[in-house]
Amino acid sequence: MVADRARRVLLGGAGVLLVLGVMEAASRTGVVDAASVPPATEILSGAVEMAADGEFGGHLGATVAAWLSGVLLAVVLAVPAGLLLGSVPVLDRAALIVVELLRPIPSVALIPLAILVFVEPGRVERSLVCYACLWPILLNTLYGLREVEPVAKETLRSFGFGPLGVLLRVSLPSAAPLVLTGVRIALAVGLVVAVSAELRAGGESGLGIYLLATQSGGGRPDLMLAGALWAGVLGLLANGLLVAAERRIFRWRAVR
Amino acid sequence: MLEIKGLGHRYADGHRALTGIDLGVERGELVCLVGPSGCGKSTLLRCVAGLLRPTEGTVTLDGNTVDRVPDGLAVVFQDYTRSLFPWLTVRDNVALVLRRRGLGRRERRAAAEEALAAVGLADAVRKYPWQLSGGMQQRAAIARALAYRPSLLLMDEPFGSVDAQTREDLEDLLLTVRGGEGGMTILLVTHDIDESVYVGDRVVVLTGAPGTVHTELRVDLPAPRDQIATREHPAFVALRAEVGRAVRRP
């Protein structure tokens, strides 16, 4: 187990180093224009410098706040909606086409509409993140409910529990691992949407606002890429935390 | 207590599992259902449990038609692995169903531990079902049903995965909880002919597809039953042979 994990970390690290090495070599040798894509070492030193910079920290914090609150709102809306649709087949069938119609609409395409409706950039951003995150959470909740063991539900029914009791005590815990996977997918989607919304809808602070600023005037591609790198780090952290949480909370699932 | 009249069931896919079943069970009686695979034993249990609405005939319990899960019922499902909740410890699997019994949290836990101890799982209460062997999981499912103190207990092949010694202990445990003051009425589905005669007050042999009642035998063996003495009793040997012949001859 431990050896496996060490091996994975080593291989992952090797992959990162390889990509950085190729980027470095491409810029240094002039395969790509070093003025538009600076060498990896410069991007990395920019990223480290930014981390110490309070102003960038504020931008990053604003994005994280909008991102996480949007995802949280999506969880609060999508999980109960999934439980409702998953347990009332008539509603599920009625909602199917609506869901399948709304789901493929890119959130970015809704930015103009969101600006009209919500006006304030922070609200625009949160609402778009929430919209984009609803679907993976809703669909995973529905998949999770479909996979609930019929015998487990019958067991609780046979002990006199009603439909609500069965839903909350069997269906919800059984579906929980897939719901959490949905949240993990939503976090990745939500971060992309949050930064895109900042780029398009503007506002006072946020990673997207910072990226825009690095492109004004002469432009600082090293800082821009360093900012983008931080977005990647956020996504990686969020995913890692959730995977770890899934392993801990849903140990029973791995064994089955 | 339990009256089954003209019961038959045809599943939505056209498969006919049961037909024309008539069976009465007295309060406190332990009735064993035996028969070959596919004779509709499990379907019959599900109809009695109110989990499945039969397409023909009626089930009445204490004079009321069973059209939903009746009060005071517990079922031990054949598929015990799927019947236990893997996200709960063994103790919480048992304690959860006791919520329907109006017990407080502490009482539920105490009752759960007591029932688990009775099936020899005192040391496993904090484990999760998937950490236990098949036989131990099966015992946990039985403990859950017994802790519930049902007035009607339905069991579908409940001892299939336990070792021979434990099986005998569980059979004797069943004999102590059935009948008497506030005792349980038990309907037990089993493949094991010896077991049906040993624990049963009556043995009902189901045969055919769709399943029908082939034979009903009253088991008149001296009480209390004893794993050694009862099994060598001439009446036991004769009944066992009779049930065996009924199961084999359609």
Put simply, the answer to whether B69 touches A151 (Cβ < 8 Å) is no
SS3 (DSSP) at B77? coil
Nearest to B82 among A152, A169, A251 (CB): A152
| Cα separation, B229 vs A64, whole angstroms | 75
Residues of B whose CB is below 8 A from A159: 73-75, 97, 100, 148
Chain A interface residues facing chain B, Cβ-Cβ under 8 Å?
A: 149, 151-152, 154-161, 169-170, 173-174, 176, 250-253, 255-256
Are B223 and B165 in the same domain?
yes
SS3 (DSSP) at B75? strand
SS3 (DSSP) at B205? strand
Are B45 and B104 in the same domain?
no
Are B122 and B43 in the same domain?
no
B177 Cβ contact list (under 8 Å, min separation 6):
B146, B153, B183, B184, B186
What pLDDT does A52 receive?
Answer: 85
- The domain boundary residue, chosen from B149, B168, B200: B149
Residue B100 CB burial class (10 angstroms; 0-12, 13-18, ≥19): middle
Q: How confident is the model at residue A254 (pLDDT cuts 50, 70, 90)?
A: low
The count of domains in chain B is 2
Joined tokens for residue A196:
């895109």
**pLDDT tens sequence across A172-196:** 999 999 999 999 999 999 999 999 9
In which domain, by residue range, is B123 found?
81-149
Side-by-side strand order, sheet with B202-207? B73-76, B152-156, B185-190, B30-34, B202-207, B212-218
Domain regions of chain A by residue span: 63-249
Are B55 and B168 in the same domain?
yes
Are B185 and B67 in the same domain?
yes
Nearest to A170 among B51, B69, B85 (CB): B85
Are B159 and B213 in the same domain?
yes
| Cα separation, A221 vs A35, whole angstroms | 7
Are B38 and B90 in the same domain?
no
Handedness of CA B55, B59, B64, B70 (dihedral sign): negative
What pLDDT does B9 receive?
Answer: 92
Whether pLDDT at A248 is above 60:
yes
| Cα separation, A37 vs B217, whole angstroms | 89
- The domain boundary residue, chosen from B149, B173, B194: B149
- Within B157-233, strands assigned E span 185-190, 202-207, 212-218
Q: What is the mean pLDDT of chain A?
A: 89
Specify the length of chain B in residues: 250
Ordered DSSP codes for B35-61: --TTSSHHHHHHHHTTSS--SEEEEEE
Going by C-alpha positions, the residue among A229, A247, A90, A87 that lies closest to residue A168 is A87
Q: Please state, in angstroms and as integers, the Cα–Cα distance from residue A138 to each residue in A131, B52, B146, following that order.
A: 11, 31, 39
Pick the CATH number of A63-249 from 1.10.580.10, 1.10.3720.10, 1.10.4030.10, 1.10.8.60: 1.10.3720.10
Residues A104-127, buried b or exposed e (16+ Cβ, 10 A)?
eeebeebbeebbeebeebbbbbbb
SS3 (DSSP) at B243? helix
Are B168 and B193 in the same domain?
yes
Are B242 and B167 in the same domain?
yes
B187 Cβ contact list (under 8 Å, min separation 6):
B2, B25, B31, B33, B45, B48, B152, B153, B154, B155
Are B67 and B173 in the same domain?
yes
Residues of B whose CB is below 8 A from A177: none
**pLDDT tens sequence across B147-201:** 999 999 999 999 988 899 889 988 998 888 886 666 799 999 998 999 999 999 9
Residue pairs spanning A and B at CB distance below 8 A: 54
Residue pair B83/A152 in contact by the 8 Å Cβ criterion: yes
Joined tokens for residue A161:
């529990």
**pLDDT tens sequence across A197-226:** 998 888 888 889 988 888 877 678 888 888
Are B167 and B65 in the same domain?
yes
Residue B220 phi/psi, 5-degree rounding, is: -105, 85
**pLDDT tens sequence across B57-79:** 999 999 889 999 999 999 999 99
Q: So what's the ipTM on this one? A: 0.90
Are B36 and B160 in the same domain?
yes
CATH code of B181's domain: 3.40.50.300
- The domain boundary residue, chosen from B119, B149, B179: B149
